[in-house]
Amino acid sequence: TLPLLFLNLGGEMLYILDQRLRAQSIPGEKARKDEWTDVDRKRVMNDIITTMFNKKFMEELFKPQELYSKKALRTVYDRLAHASIMRLNQASMDKLYDLMTMAFKYQVLLCPRPKDILLVTFNHLDAIKDFVRDSPGILNQVDETFRQLIETYSCLSAGEFQLIRQTLLVFFQDMHIRVSIFLKDKVQNSNGRFVLPISGPVPWGTEVPGLIRLFNRNGDEVKRTEFTTGGNYVTPQREGSFDLYGDRVLKLGTNMYSVSRPVETHISGSSKNLASHAKENIAPNPLAKEELNFLARLLGGLEIKKPGGSETGFRLNLFTTDEEEEHAALTRPEELSYKVINIEATQEPGRRAELSRILGELEVAEPRPGSSGKGEDLLALMDGL
């Protein structure tokens, strides 16, 4: 499940960043030194996509492994979003991640059949290829991941795709963040839950409901009964292409920001939602060791580019104004905020002490004999990486 989750969320992140960078960019000849231009936008997109599809990074991602927590994945996207000259503050990064997760949750819920999650992934990768169509080297990186996806998932059964879909839905089940685009299109209720359609094309390979057929013991049809359905169903014209190039037919996973729409999100304030986030923060994590190991390997390929010389990092605001962004940062409940742990195993005493302090906050399921069971054990783990 992990490669599909990462690539689809990453695709949604790139859609949002591209839309916001276009909205805030100024023509090159009119732009001041601290303002975005279209050249900056292309550079940011190329840098992030290059990092996202790094060969070593993809090799780690496709290794068989358990799906990790929301916090572990959030840390990876924090690093990924800052893989160029762009900088996001905490409120904008929170908003970006909210939009990413709710968009992909909606796509998973609406997939006609579990295998179509692969078509959603291909839609994201097709769009990413369009972002870097003028950069053959980066395009080749994306194509390599495309081939890896086809090789890994084309042989899976319908039952295995159903397990992947269930795993994704469990990952998203307590997330009910209201998004303006979904609210305006009436596909999301005011409580943040999605509205599932009861009409439209049925899954490929199935029949339109409304007919019951009875067979005898020899397999001969002996009776037909029709019944009225609650929706208007149609048979799909053709199946989407699972090849490197082709018509995916399914529109889920395409760029919904390609038309001119504001990128807004409203946080649902239900106590149940807040309680679930708080519980995740407070409860000891029995996979602390494995998650740190996973993060250390993955983050090794995600280098943050520090502006050099006189170059300054450009700040991107996902809100309409700076005041809105500041207000969101102040009003964001503490239990919904995320902290980024930069893992850097080093022998320098000062850095070891800082790392020990940070890691000491994490609970470890099985401490070594004679260890405290917290930072000491995790620090030993980091030294071995």
Q: Quick count: other Cβ atoms within 10 Å of Cβ 310?
A: 6
User: Does residue 145 or residue 309 have the better pLDDT?
Assistant: 145
Interval 332-346: pLDDT, tens: 665 555 444 444 444
Residue 314 has phi, psi (to 5 degrees) of -90, 135
The residues, ordered by sequence, that sit 6+ positions from 337 with a Cβ below 8 Å of its Cβ are 90, 94
User: So what's the pLDDT on residue 67?
Assistant: 84
**What's the pTM?**
0.72
CA distance 22 to 204: 37
- Boundaries of every domain in the chain: 1-258
Q: Tell me the per-residue pLDDT of 133-175, one tens digit each, with 9 for 90 and over.
A: 999 999 999 999 999 999 999 999 999 999 999 999 999 998 9
Contact 19, 264 (CB under 8 A): no
Task: Name the residue among 97, 94, 136 with its Cα closest to residue 10.
Answer: 97
pLDDT average, residue stretch 234-243: 88
108-117, 301-310, 315-324, 369-378 — which one is most confidently predicted on average? Answer: 108-117
Minimal CA–CA distance to 61: which of 120, 132, 141, 5?
Answer: 5
Taking the C-alpha atoms of residue 94 and residue 91, their distance in angstroms, rounded to an integer, is: 5
Structure confidence at residue 165 (pLDDT): 96
Question: Out of 33-37, 169-173, 368-372, which region has the weakest mean confidence (pLDDT)?
Answer: 368-372
How much is the pLDDT for 79?
86
User: What SS3 string covers the chain?
Assistant: CHHHHHHHHHHHHHHHHHHHHHHHCCCCCCCCCCCCCHHHHHHHHHHHHHHHCCHHHHHHHCCCCCCCCHHHHHHHHHHHHCCCCEECCHHHHHHHHHHHHHHHHHHHHHCCCCCHHHHHHHHHHHHHHHHCCCCHHHHHHHHHHHHHHHHHHCCCCHHHHHHHHHHHHHHHCCCCCEEHHHHHCCCECCCCCECCCCCEECCCCCCCCCEEEEECCCCCEEEEEECCCCCCEECCCCCCCCCCCCCCCCCCCCCCCCCCCCCCEECCCCHHHHHHHHHHHHCCCCCHHHHHHHHHHHHCCCCCCCCCCCCCCEECCCCCCHHHHHHHHHHCCHHHCCCCCCCCCCCCHHHHHHHHHHHCCCCCCCCCCCCCCCHHHHHHHHHCC
113 vs 355, more confident: 113
- If pLDDT is split at 50, 70 and 90, which confidence band does 205 have? confident
Among residues 229, 231, 228, 253, which one has the least CA distance to residue 240? 253
Mean per-residue pLDDT for 28-57? 81
Least confident segment among 209-213, 324-328, 354-358: 354-358
